[in-house]
Amino acid sequence: MLGTAVSDGLIGSNPAAIRGAMNTVTKRQPTILTPDEVAKVALAIQPVNLKVLVLISAWCGLRWGEVTALTRADVSADCEVITVARGVTHANGQCFVDTTKSAKVRTVIVPPHVVGDLRDHLAHHVDDHHDALLFPPTRGCHLRQQVFREYFNAALKSVGITKAVRIHDLRHFAGAQAARVGDLVETMQRLGHTTIKASLIYQQVVSGRDREIADQLSALAKPAQVGQNTG
């Protein structure tokens, strides 16, 4: 707002400009799982309707607020494309549904090895109406991160992963894998980044090849045999 006011000549300078504000220091390095570890966690997590939440977070790179805001209408009929249009935040015991962090709608091509699991999830775990949540909570408006973390940590432990893994580390996994097959611009688009600095962490580059990237992501996962459903 203040930047726009400066551009419009309403004020001489932006009083909120802080030198070095964008150069934040990372306090904790993310724990990047391997494709095989992601596969094991997805298969181990209980209840089973959270399997696809793990897969979408890891292979499509959605933020927590984005993946928990997904509805049936956000998934294409063939389950190959997810539209990311909203994000959920929780504050003072309430849910707030707004735009994504970048305030932009983006589409993400689902890697083929995840498509079958997504179809199965829609068929068995999601209500038929178009605005039905993909991952409904047992109570409240949307699934809370604290609730999922208990199931996630239990799954990590059950497959013998003892290193500390945050839920957000699944998104870091997505960035790291996309960096292996895509470029900077492609990664920015896939993860919904608005600044180059955010995507440079994963070292990616170019756009228009999202489907090709999704295909190559599945090729990376083949040794791990992620997603047992193919139809």
Q: What is the pLDDT of residues 141-184, one digit of tens each?
A: 899 999 999 999 999 999 999 999 999 999 989 988 887 877 77
Choosing from 63, 113, 119, 172, which is the catalytic residue? 63
Sketch the domain layout of the chain as residue ranges: 28-222
Q: Is 193 among the catalytic positions?
A: yes
pTM of the predicted protein model: 0.75
* 47 preceded by a cis bond (ω within 30 of 0): yes
Distance from C-alpha of 123 to C-alpha of 117, rounded to nearest angstrom: 10
How many Cα atoms are found within 13 Å in the side-chain-facing hemisphere of 135?
26
Determine whether 171 is an active site residue: yes
Q: Is 63 a catalytic site residue?
A: yes
CB neighbour class for 17 (10 Å; exposed up to 12, middle 13-18, buried from 19): exposed
Instruction: Please report the pLDDT score of residue 30 as a whole number.
Output: 84
Domain 28-222 in CATH: superfamily?
Intergrase catalytic core (1.10.443.10)
Closest-CA residue to 57 (of 96, 112, 110, 99): 110
Task: Provide φ and ψ at 118, rounded to 5°.
Answer: -65, -40
Based on its alpha-carbon atoms, the radius of gyration of the chain, rounded to whole angstroms, reads 19
> For the chain, where are the E strands, in sequence order?
81-84, 87-91, 94-98, 106-109
Known catalytic residue at 202:
yes
Digit-coded pLDDT (tens) for 80-130: 999 999 999 888 878 888 888 878 899 999 999 999 999 999 999 999 999
Name the residue among 106, 111, 107, 105 with its Cα closest to residue 59: 111
Q: Out of 106, 119, 171, 190, which one is annotated catalytic?
A: 171
Which among 134, 110, 109, 112 is positioned nearest to 121, based on CA atoms?
A: 134
172, 202, 209, 211: the active-site residue: 202
The single-letter code of the amino acid at 183 is: D
Largest CA-CA distance found in the chain, in angstroms, rounded: 60
- Is position 211 annotated as part of the catalytic site? no
